[in-house]
Structure 1
């Protein structure tokens, strides 16, 4: 036989296998030659004859003028307990779908109404390109079964087999062939030498509807086709008139051709991403689109050209500049999965910055409206700040934005960034002003709230021993909430708010966290120094506080966060041996802010939260399951120093200490916009006075810090109290790590860089499902960076976890937060057990600025 016969026979055999009875309607009698081939000779009688169809045995019954006669001769073969396989061939008969005499046979089996040209086309496309096949099967000319059989068999008189298919032997289908030709001229010489240009132009015409001159140079034909395809996709995606620069480019004439243009453009992007980027950039330049004046909202959902991504991002910035934050968020969510962004981490980082700006603006507007409606005592303000969806989200959104921007090589556009920073400052100003007034009215108390001086007696002292007590300098409430979210799901975690002692500065706040503070606590001056007094002990500094705690708490161990993270498990166990209370101190946030390194402070804030979570898990592994995390004070943090209008002259008088947000001394004047309170009114046995800016202003205290604390704002006074129980777990490293990594950098030269991870690439894991992992950057036992963005996978920004699916590469963009690291490793952890699923084989040097 021949390929056409074999193909038709296979289609028929498949139907017989499924339903056993096939009623075959051949309205034009096109398949009579095929039936003759199957029968193997002339029709001898009206009885069904035994035949072989595609290797399957069947009975062939043929219509010869009487439906009733046909049904009568077929029924005996299909009505028994073991019905036969039967083909009922109906030449030159149209199917009657409502009153067919053969309806019972059709219902018992199935019907078939094939078109000869379509089946032949499927066969011919295995040897010829689409353009050649379309010429062989014109719509306006009848082609016989015999003609098509000869063409499929390659007999003389038919078109020769496709030369293009032999040249592009590794291409899949017509679109694959066209895409391979469009992205490279590597086979042009062969196309010309084998005289295949005409076949190529026929294929272009048949597939996308573009007429090309078969005698044209291939380079020119390629450029014309590329412009046609890319301009076509771009034009179809627009919701406005196309720019006049596209008038010279032909348009697809039918919906089928439009669909083909779209399909080919997608094939170019997905199959040849590197080549596509260069080709699209060149076409964009040739078509003059970079300077096209198009409404950004009309650019559609597909970024055919690079300029579209940039135009949309500018549009998002404009929306933010006009305080349309929700619209900007929606736009970013719709367009952030772009071909251009997936290939360029620096551009994706700009989109992430825009998303965070819009989020901050959105929250700032919500908070400002809520603040304007808030009345009542200081407790009502505290509740509004710390409730589940409370105002602390403003601080969280601001920190996330500023931490992100601090790691960008290029800041976002100035105008939208300025708008959201102003919206944040305005909301903070209104919050501080309202809360301070409520405090004054309430006699500087917050009814029902946990006071900082009671954290040791009411929280830490009641915990089973041993217990870890984390004292984190300048960790505000929202950071405590985020810490709780980054702890393992298996941990028992709770977060509550406490009100800090005034003034909200380190010597006072850290002393308030000491044992005995609930019974006796005052802020006093002694020997020209400001400090806290508990019983008869004066605590002006860290050394005095450490000595005091060691005397009050038997079996106490004291170490810095950095030391804890750096210690090997064996050395840590030795240091903690017999300890009932382990004090862990972190000064990273306050140190960076207070010493004027506000840029660094923005970078390290997220890292401190992650390292606290890591320290809690490390202590749990060492047998200390219980932990309490709190802070001496929070902070106000702005992107730049206070404007001159926000700076206030100091009160003067007998100044004991002057900070940006508080004055402590005796006498002097109370400047406008400030409030004064006697230390005795705060419950202190002292003759000191305290003066604070009422809102978010600062005293003229020198320096240019944007990082402030000391005053009575919610951000400065409200501190987190995080209680944790994390049971120790076995976390042995898997023997065959399921995570592989590619594109690891030879050196880290930018704060943001990407690595591609694949789950299950080197082994097929039967029944494998997706997994949640936590990718990190580690150096000397500390976390120095985390995931900032993820391409083509789910990413939980609160926990830093990424969802990996089996054998699907996922690109993760890391953000290096600690620039002091000389080298680092890329690590992937199981977030539940901390087991390492992957660790880069060698240290990667950090060479920022190279």
Structure 2
């Protein structure tokens, strides 16, 4: 292979296949002919040599074509030095294309000498001698080095030409290549000579089989890359391990990078690296070394990068954290589910802390009034709650593995930052609450939702309306749900102000017709009962009876989960269908540690229900909730509030109804000012986010933004289907066809191809689940990264191939099916049969 062919295939084509866009900076004009020869029907090449203005316009136009899928790749050739400083990049009109994709040269490995050493790996000495005489030899001079073909038996058996490809085949031979190597040993002598000449490996094994030679070759190649990358001297215990000379460094690093980046060889690389690490006892021998370089050849090195990221996070070095994240995104060890769980946790902690800092800086600008504070919450402050929930979900996903408590400092730091911000916000909220009262004039009150958004739709006979009453659907979840429902019709999200006290008993009653004017709390022996006029509405039956009396045969109700599971039929005369869901609140009340996962299932059910409602002829959907909630994971053991003196009834450890005097730790409002009618004069509660009882990880009932700002979603269902996902082909794969999983966090590869030219630009959403033989869910896509933490879905474009960690239930063992599902219809695109084979 000539040097030009090597540069074209191994550098330009290989990188364009990954990034689609690439800028080549070439002040010597060395690579111009190769670049211009790359143009094809689907690959545009822009030459910046002739006219800067013309080439700029051409590059912009071609980038647009790439976005419209008219072309697949864009290569921009610039006969100038690559800009290094930010100021130079701003002046360079072609820098933006490098940001969109890749840049050549991108490091020391891209200098001319390094590339020539990679192209002529078995003639490194001669290549260096040529460069000693001439620092800029022509391609023809390089091509002439070592003339003639060597290794005839290896070339014939392996069906490859270059030394680099022979080495790669000896490391990871295909089935055909492996069979050819087994049939004869005529290649062994050539292999010994080639390994000695190209990378300096003098084989010690006397075996003449590929397995014996392959074991030694793998150990030599991986250990050599580890040594080349090590900033300090090798420990004494490793100094006698065979290692390549410096002349072979470009080839060694190139081979390792190729093994890690090629999905066909990644699993083999992981297995070999883990075995070699254990064989050489690297974690123990090198455990004292703080800096292991930039490459994570072995898995224990990745753990040092994780620790460095944690240390950078602790000292608030955001640039370092981002740099480590960016580098790790390309790591082969993301193919291990256990590794992904660690990184997902630290990424979610970083995102939470960064968002807290951003909102803290802006808080003072929105502190002047309750209306301004609410506006900040619904526009961006609710993102803090979302990221906190996703962080706690990542903690839940990883805690069972963290037996040594490695992640405890990160957890404490993130929770402390969140708690600091949320308490600052709460002080402002309760201050304005006492001044302006509740609900805020001019904003939608939850008690008016039915009369304003549901009842008017039912005035016209024949209009079928579904009213979903979802317990504890706080505002940030409504934002996530709104995005997911967009494909089913015209969707609108409104913030509403929950009825005080923010408890289920009152909140669900406030969603009934006439609640805005008729809801009141009547004192009884054990507390207070909500009444609507003279009718008690404390139970589900009593609340549904209010609707039945008003709408008669036009009304039907049931549990949302039962509707999704086809356990009841909708009567033909029904025009108002009420579906009730309590899973979020129930799970948080009983299992707060794992409750974030239930949120995914609840939103999945809502989405499936909406799709079924469309099929059942419903044209309107209104989704409302009784209250929000707060996840109190940042509180310490003594972070509670003493009860206010007076005659009070304690509601949910966050609210007091009755009468008494205020103190410095409580807000106190008249019942009228708080928008509550009842047999009491006042309502009070903690000024902070504390409760009256210690150890509560989840609560509602009080007055705070997360508890009292709730979503109302209205949806006009469309009959026409959008984004025809059925026209896409989804494929699942596990470890190149393996049928047994050895970890409870297996990584599944999902690929998506379109069958329809009109679907090329569409995003497609996929739900990944594992089902046992009864159809019960025994594993789900682990939230975080590519997996939407609110919905559990993965969004792909045609041509995407991604790796997703499947989180299996701890107690399940046996055969199961991994299914790629349509999240709206739950129809399976494809499935994969697997079986557990856990070692412990």
Q: Report if TM-score (shorter chain) is over 0.5.
A: yes
Q: Structure 1 residue 504: deviation in Å?
A: 0.6
* Structure 1 segment 166-565 matched on structure 2, within 5 A: 168-169=157-158, 173-182=162-171, 198-208=189-199, 210=200, 212=202, 226=218, 228-237=220-229, 240-241=231-232, 243=234, 252-254=245-247, 257-269=248-260, 270=262, 272-284=265-277, 289-290=282-283, 291-292=285-286, 299-300=293-294, 302-325=295-318, 327-342=320-335, 344-387=336-379, 390-408=380-398, 409-411=400-402, 413-463=407-457, 465-489=463-487, 491-554=489-552, 555-565=554-564
Contact map agreement 1:795 1:803 (CA 8 A) in 2: no
SS at match of 1:647: coil
Task: Give, in whole Å, the separation in 2 of the partners of 1:561 and 1:849.
Answer: 40
Q: Structure 1 residue 587: deviation in Å?
A: 0.6
Task: Give, in whole Å, the separation in 2 of the partners of 1:326 and 1:467.
Answer: 51
Q: Structure 1 residue 540: deviation in Å?
A: 2.4
> Which deviates more, 731-740 or 578-587?
731-740
Task: Give, in whole Å, the separation in 2 of the partners of 1:503 and 1:306.
Answer: 52
Residues 801/292 of structure 1: CA separation in 2 closer, same or farther (3 Å cut): same
Which digits, 9 at most, give the CA deviation of each residue in 1:620-642, with x for residues without a partner?
121113111111110111237x4
Residues 488/787 of structure 1: CA separation in 2 closer, same or farther (3 Å cut): farther
Residues 672/824 of structure 1: CA separation in 2 closer, same or farther (3 Å cut): farther
Tell me, yes or no, if structure 1 residue 581 matches structure 2 residue 576: yes
Contact map agreement 2:648 2:656 (CA 8 A) in 1: yes
- Tell me the equivalent position of 1:606: 600
- Where in structure 1 are there 5+ consecutive unaligned residues? 1-128, 140-147, 154-158
Contact map agreement 2:653 2:701 (CA 8 A) in 1: yes
> Which deviates more, 456-465 or 213-222?
213-222
Q: Structure 1 residue 839: deviation in Å?
A: 4.5
RMSD of aligned alpha carbons: 4.5
> Which deviates more, 713-722 or 347-356?
347-356
> Which deviates more, 376-385 or 403-412?
403-412
SS at match of 2:515: coil
Task: Give, in whole Å, the separation in 2 of the partners of 1:421 and 1:521.
Answer: 38
Q: Structure 1 residue 535: deviation in Å?
A: 2.1
> Which deviates more, 598-607 or 811-820?
811-820
* Structure 1 segment 47-62 matched on structure 2, within 5 A: none
SS at match of 2:516: coil
SS at match of 2:500: coil
Residues 134/162 of structure 1: CA separation in 2 closer, same or farther (3 Å cut): farther
The structure with more radius of gyration: 1
Contact map agreement 2:429 2:705 (CA 8 A) in 1: yes
State the TM-score, normalized to the length of structure 1: 0.70
Task: Give, in whole Å, the separation in 1 of the partners of 2:815 and 2:442.
Answer: 49
- Tell me the equivalent position of 1:567: 566
Contact map agreement 2:624 2:713 (CA 8 A) in 1: yes
Tell me, yes or no, if structure 1 residue 660 matches structure 2 residue 653: yes
Q: Structure 1 residue 410: deviation in Å?
A: 1.7
SS at match of 2:467: strand
Task: Give, in whole Å, the separation in 2 of the partners of 1:819 and 1:581.
Answer: 42
Q: Structure 1 residue 788: deviation in Å?
A: 3.2
Q: Structure 1 residue 837: deviation in Å?
A: 5.3
Task: Give, in whole Å, the separation in 1 of the partners of 2:665 and 2:576.
Answer: 44
SS at match of 2:782: strand
SS at match of 2:514: coil
Which digits, 9 at most, give the CA deviation of each residue in 1:746-801, with x for residues without a partner?
8999774443334459xx9899957623123387999887533699xx76667623
Task: Give, in whole Å, the separation in 2 of the partners of 1:540 and 1:133.
Answer: 84
Report the number of matched residues. 679
- Tell me the equivalent position of 1:49: none
Instruction: Identify the match of residue 638 of structure 1 among 632, 643, 653.
Output: 632
Tell me, yes or no, if structure 1 residue 710 matches structure 2 residue 701: yes
SS at match of 1:699: coil
Contact map agreement 1:627 1:723 (CA 8 A) in 2: yes
Task: Give, in whole Å, the separation in 2 of the partners of 1:581 and 1:334.
Answer: 54
State the TM-score, normalized to the length of structure 2: 0.70
SS at match of 2:654: coil
Contact map agreement 2:465 2:619 (CA 8 A) in 1: yes
Task: Give, in whole Å, the separation in 2 of the partners of 1:820 and 1:729.
Answer: 41
Task: Give, in whole Å, the separation in 1 of the partners of 2:776 and 2:493.
Answer: 24
Larger helix proportion, structure 1 or 2?
Answer: 2
- Where in structure 2 are there 5+ consecutive unaligned residues? 1-119, 131-143
Instruction: Identify the match of residue 590 of structure 1 among 585, 589, 595.
Output: 585
Task: Give, in whole Å, the separation in 2 of the partners of 1:428 and 1:367.
Answer: 10
Q: Structure 1 residue 241: deviation in Å?
A: 3.9
Task: Give, in whole Å, the separation in 1 of the partners of 2:548 and 2:319.
Answer: 53
- Tell me the equivalent position of 1:7: none
Q: Structure 1 residue 422: deviation in Å?
A: 1.4
Q: Structure 1 residue 803: deviation in Å?
A: 1.8
